[in-house]
Amino acid sequence: MFSTLTTSIIGFTIAAAVIVTAGSRLARVADELADRTGLGEALFGIFLLAGVTSLPDFAATLSAALDSRPDLAMSNIMGSMAANLVFLGIADVIYRKANLEHAAASPTNLMLAALLIALLALPLLAIGSPAISVWGIHPVTPVIAAAYLFGMYLVRSTDNKPMWFPRLTRQTVPDKPAHYLHGGLAQAWLSFTALAAVTGIAGWVLMEGAKVISDETGLSETLIGGLFTALATSSPELITTIAAIRTGALTLAVSNIFGTNCFNMLVVASADIAYPDGSIYHDIAPIQMTWGLISILMTAILLMGMVLRQRYGIGRIGFESALILAVYTATLAIVMANG
């Protein structure tokens, strides 16, 4: 798509800007549809908004996998998941009324965090297992898809008939209908679909530019994918999360991040299917495991924070937010030192 470094940088920048702009609109439309469809913020964030905000990741990762760039593909999607978790820490800093994980308490989000840890462990097991594949696909790949579907069943069951309830406090913000935007339900769905298509196309363009940037600058694909493309393709999650917080849709903000990361595990499975040279898990550099392990660590920290529900902490943010920001910063230093 791009023949020179200059055009690739321009294309990369424009695609990133498009993703950010579309993401800011997605949160408002998603909050309205969550109320109008009766799904509620948690389920809409998990089943629909998460899939849409993952489209740039899906397009970018699939593009790299099809082009036989395993490190670029896996570092993009794994780095994106780590970045998404950091966005919850950033959101906690922005939400000043209380610790975000306290205010958005939900048994559904607890189940999502536990599911994410289980899903993240599967590709790491594939990396450490013998280099086997059936029709070019590692046996762990269909397990990831099956685990995701079963996990979504558990999440839906937890939301419909919760057996655990958070203690309501003055800082707890329940999911309640907000004011609708102008136009009817059909118009809202049309806007949602159009924004989804735009972010997906922009994600593909972004990765095409990233390939040329990596080739022309000599920067490693691990660094390009885990830092630059991961942050760019993850920007819809950051924008929608911040926008949801500003409109008071806290449950939507948190469930979108966890739901997106769970959906991104299907992107990992898709990358293995699309990769033309056998199992993608055994053609990536060992440093790629760092992103997966760090994502497990940060998810576990957030899970502990959601269970403890600290109202205020250092700088009026929870201990979990401070820890994940510190962990991510240290990880970036490690990746940059290796790349």
> What pLDDT score was predicted for residue 47?
64
Q: How far apart are CA 197 and CA 141, in angstroms?
A: 26
Separation of CA 38 from chain center: 24
- pLDDT digit string (tens) for 176-198? 555 455 557 778 788 878 887 88
Evaluate if residue 24 carries a pLDDT over 70.
no
Inform me whether the pLDDT recorded for 120 exceeds 90: yes
How many other CB atoms sit within 10 Å of the CB of residue 320? 26
Q: Which CB contacts under 8 angstroms, 24+ apart, belong to 178-182? A: 178/31, 178/32, 178/35, 178/247, 178/248, 178/249, 180/32, 180/35, 180/36, 181/28, 181/29, 181/32
Q: Tens of pLDDT along 64-107? A: 899 888 888 888 888 889 988 998 888 888 887 777 777 777 88
* pLDDT greater than 80 at residue 281: yes
What is the per-residue burial (b if ≥16 Cβ within 10 Å, else e) of 58-74? Answer: bbbbbbbbebebbbbbb
**What is the mean pLDDT of the segment spanning 9-33?**
75
Write the CATH number for 189.
1.20.1420.30
Ranking 62-71, 127-136, 241-250, 255-264 by mean pLDDT, the lowest is 241-250
Task: Look at residue 283 and tell me whether its pLDDT is greater than 80.
Answer: yes
Number of CB atoms found within 10 A of residue 332's CB: 18
Tell how far CA 55 is from the center of its chain.
10
Q: How confident is the model at residue 150 (pLDDT cuts 50, 70, 90)?
A: very high
pTM score above 0.85: no
Tokens of 69: 């760039």
* Predicted confidence (pLDDT) at residue 114 exceeds the cutoff of 90: yes
Total of domains in the chain: 1
Phi first, then psi: give them for residue 117, nearest 5 degrees.
-60, -45
Task: Give the chain's radius of gyration (CA, Å).
Answer: 19
pLDDT of residue 328: 92
pLDDT tens track for 211-234: 777 777 766 766 777 777 777 777
Whether the predicted pLDDT of 298 surpasses 90: yes
Residue 185: give the domain boundaries: 5-338
Query: By C-alpha distance, which of 82, 80, 128 is closest to 294?
Result: 82
The residue type found at 249 is: A
Is pLDDT of 310 > 80?
no
